[in-house]
Chain A
Amino acid sequence: MSDEDINKKLLEDLKNLPGINAPKNFETELLRKINSSDKTQKKSFWKNLLTPPKLVPAAVVLASAIIIFFVVDGNPEVMEDPLSIEPRLREDIYRAETMDDIILQNGAEELTNETKPEQKTIKQESVKERFKDKTAKGEEEKPEGVLGTNRGIIPEVSYNEKSTADSNQSNEVQKLEENQFQVPVNVSSQEISKKKLKFYAAKFIHTGKTRSSTAENEN
């Protein structure tokens, strides 16, 4: 048998296959399924959700949430008026009324910021000398390296020291600080008194001479 014959025979057999019929209760079963599916599908999710009995707990929860949100104040902290609060006292800013205070404060701060006791003694001496010189001269000029504001004075030196504080280079810091101040003059108090005495003595002699010469002229 050739392929064409087989094909023809196959097609013929496929056409003549016995028909399969639906069961007798097909329609009744179908209608029952349709009715049952209608009952289940009639109420959609939103319709089911919005039916009154099921809304009651949701409404209660919603109402209680509104009461909690609006009536009960969840944040008991009273808001402070920022204008009525006193400003914080800053420890890094000093208030100075006179220039002497500024110089002393600068010197004291420098001392506190020092790490080594040797540096402290050097500083202390230099500050003292500087103060003495300025008081002797009666200068009223602004001290170097000091920033003044209306509220306080921020020393520049403290910022410089802060920037190098973590570097552990104490010698370099010392050199820098020495350059900022005038070179101290090591003069003891006895010498000063001697100088003063000499000065006053010379003055006295000079004035004595002049007085005697004027008296002689008068005579």
Chain B
Amino acid sequence: MERNFNDLSDEELILEFQNSGNEKAFEILVSRFKNPLINFVYRFLGDYDNCVDVVQDTFIKVYRYKDSYSSLAKFSTWIYTIAGNLARTEYKRKRRKNFFSINSYGEEQKTFDIPDEAYRPDIQTDMKIKSEIIQKALLKVRDTYREAVILRDIQELSYEEIAEIMQIEIGTVKSRINRGRAELQKYLKDIYKD
């Protein structure tokens, strides 16, 4: 009798994949985590193509190093840790590469407003414009604060999970979230002043 993998938890699926090498378990994990990870990495990097590559690399690492997963930890924190590390590496690489480019990452770097027809209110809805502005403001926040804010306020993870993913203390997580929010408010004060 074939087991229904969809009923299994994330941890059970990865253990199944570890023990039997059943790729069906891996595929279910991919389908469960691809969108949350794409969302997290996109908010961190701000570039969709790079974000897809990073998430695919994350799943490749899970596939190749499945035996390094310990059942003591939650699978979600393990895969978020891998994705976060890869995203940070990609962010640093991109920042070095685009040091003299106008389309650069980084909170302190000067950004250039390129006219884009997509921002016209008569074409797009108000919410979409707002989300674009918030995304721009997020990219201006320092990367350590940004990661904490994304994981807490967009991905809605607990402080404990964020501490485990970022491999820092819970107190540090809280302070980083507060500082990130404060920076974000500073960049978005023109939207909320009315």
Binding site for B on A (CB under 8 A): 1, 3, 5-7, 9-11, 13-23, 26-27, 29-30, 33-34, 37, 41
B-side residues, CB < 8 A to A, are 27, 30-31, 34-35, 38-39, 42-43, 48, 51-52, 55-56, 59-60, 63-64, 127-128, 130-131, 134-135, 149, 153-154, 156, 181, 184-185, 188-189, 192-194
Are A6 and B189 within 8 A (Cβ)? yes
- CA A131 to CA B132, docked complex, whole Å: 124
Given contacts A1-B193, A7-B185, contact A13 B56 (CB under 8 A): no
A21 touches B131 (CB 8 A): no
With the chains together, A15 CA to B154 CA distance in Å? 5
CA–CA, A91 to B135, complex, Å? 100
Q: Check B52 against A18 for contact (C-beta < 8 Å).
A: no
* Complexed CA–CA distance, A5 and B127 (Å): 19
What distance in Å separates the Cβ of B42 from its nearest Cβ neighbour in chain A?
Answer: 5
B153 surroundings in chain A (CB, below 8 A)? 11, 14-15
Q: Which residue of B lies closest to A19 (CB)?
A: B39
Query: Is B60 a contact of A21 with CB atoms below 8 Å?
Result: no
What separation, in Å, do the CA atoms of A26 and B30 have in the docked complex? 9
Name the residue on A nearest B128 (C-beta): A18
Question: Given A1-B193, A6-B189, A21-B35 in contact, is the A13-B59 Cβ separation under 8 Å?
Answer: no
> Which A residue sits closest to B59, measured CB to CB?
A30
**Of all chain A residues, which has the CB nearest B135?**
A17
Give which listed residue, A6, A18, A34, contacts B60 with CB less than 8 A.
Answer: A34
Supposing A10-B185, A29-B56, A34-B63 touch, asked if A17 and B30 sit within 8 A by C-beta, the answer is no
Q: What are 22 A-to-B residue pairs whose CB atoms are below 8 Å?
A: A1-B192, A3-B185, A5-B192, A6-B185, A6-B192, A10-B185, A14-B153, A15-B156, A17-B43, A17-B134, A17-B135, A18-B131, A19-B39, A20-B43, A20-B51, A21-B38, A26-B52, A27-B27, A27-B30, A33-B56, A34-B60, A34-B64
CB-based contact B60/A30 at 8 Å: yes
* Complex-state Cα separation, A10 to B133, whole angstroms: 12
Given known contacts A19-B39, A21-B38, is B154 in contact with A14 (CB within 8 Å)? yes
Q: B51 contacts which chain A residues (CB < 8 A)?
A: 20
CA distance A9 to B30 in the complex (A): 33
- Residues of A within 8 Å of B56, CB to CB, are 26, 29-30, 33
Residues of A within 8 A of B127 (CB): 16, 18
Q: What 4 pairs between A and B have smallest CB-CB spacing? A: A14-B153, A22-B34, A20-B42, A6-B192
Question: Nearest CB to that of A21 among chain B residues?
Answer: B35
Residues of B within 8 A of A15 (CB): 153-154, 156
